C-alpha cells in the first residue's frame, strides 16, 4: 500500500482520520493524485472512504486535477460504490468538463443515485444534477422535477437542500 494511503488507515467510518493532512500533501505534490485515486478502490473501507474524501477536497481546491482523472472518476461513478464513497464522487462529477458520451453516463449515475437509501447521497445527487446543468441544459425539466420531489421529502435536510438548490438553479437559468 502506498505510504500516502497508510495515513488513511485506522479508526472508524465516523472519522475522516488524517484525510485533511493527506489533502495538504497532495496539493503540494499533485503527482500523488494517482495514489489517492487508487485508494478509492482499496479493499479497506476506511482507506476507500477517506481517499474519496481527500480526493473531493483536493479537487475543490484544484478542479483541473478532477479533469485530469475524468476517465477514472467516470469508471468509479458508474460502478456500485458504498455510500461513503458515492457522495464524494457525486461532488466531484460537476468539476469535470465531460465529453458528450461521458456526460450521458455521468447523468445516468447521478439519476441512479437519487434512488439510494442514503439521504446524504440523495442530496449530493441533487447538487450534482444542478451543477451539471451548464453541461446538460436539456436536463433542466428533469432536474426541476427531482428538486420538487425532494422538497416534499420527509427528510428535513433533503427538503431544505432541494429548496436551496431550486432557488439557485432559478437564479442561474
Mean pLDDT, the chain, rounded, equals 93
pLDDT band at residue 81 under the 50/70/90 scheme: very high
Do 54 and 1 lie in a common domain?
yes
Do 52 and 78 lie in a common domain?
no
Residue with cell 426541476: 144
Residue 102 resides in a domain: yes
pLDDT band at residue 78 under the 50/70/90 scheme: very high
Do 40 and 78 lie in a common domain?
no
How many domains are there within the chain? 2
Exposure of 72 by Cβ count < 10 A (0-12 exposed, 13-18 middle, 19+ buried)?
middle
pLDDT at residue 1 greater than cutoff 90? no
Instruction: Using a pLDDT cut of 70, give the percent of the chain over it.
Output: 98
Q: Give the Å distances, CA to CA, from 55 to 37, 43, 97, 141, 167.
A: 7, 17, 17, 31, 28
pLDDT score recorded for residue 123? 95
pLDDT at residue 83 greater than cutoff 70? yes
Do 10 and 63 lie in a common domain?
yes
Do 62 and 104 lie in a common domain?
no
pLDDT at residue 166 greater than cutoff 90? no
pLDDT score recorded for residue 16? 82
Residue 91 resides in a domain: no
Cα–Cα distance for residue pair 132/88, rounded to 1 Å: 15
pLDDT band at residue 8 under the 50/70/90 scheme: very high
Do 8 and 21 lie in a common domain?
yes
Do 113 and 154 lie in a common domain?
yes
**pLDDT, greater one: 170 or 39:** 39
Residue with cell 439557485: 168
pLDDT at residue 167 greater than cutoff 70? yes
Amino acid at each position: 500500500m502506498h505510504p500516502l494511503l497508510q495515513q488513511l488507515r485506522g479508526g472508524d467510518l465516523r472519522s475522516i482520520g488524517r484525510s485533511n493532512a493527506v489533502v495538504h500533501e497532495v496539493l503540494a505534490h499533485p503527482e500523488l493524485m494517482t495514489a489517492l485515486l487508487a485508494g478509492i478502490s482499496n479493499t479497506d473501507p476506511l482507506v476507500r472512504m477517506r481517499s474519496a474524501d481527500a480526493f473531493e477536497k483536493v479537487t475543490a481546491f484544484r478542479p483541473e486535477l478532477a479533469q485530469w482523472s475524468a476517465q477514472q472518476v467516470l469508471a468509479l461513478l458508474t460502478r456500485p460504490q458504498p455510500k461513503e464513497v458515492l457522495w464524494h464522487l457525486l461532488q466531484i462529477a460537476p468539476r469535470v468538463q465531460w465529453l458528450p458520451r461521458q456526460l450521458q453516463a455521468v447523468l445516468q449515475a447521478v439519476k441512479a443515485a437519487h434512488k439510494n437509501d442514503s439521504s446524504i447521497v440523495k442530496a449530493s445527487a441533487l447538487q450534482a444534477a444542478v451543477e451539471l446543468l451548464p453541461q446538460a441544459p436539456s436536463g433542466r425539466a428533469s432536474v426541476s422535477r427531482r428538486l420538487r420531489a425532494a422538497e416534499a421529502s420527509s427528510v428535513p435536510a433533503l427538503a431544505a437542500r432541494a429548496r436551496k438548490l431550486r432557488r439557485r438553479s432559478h437564479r442561474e437559468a
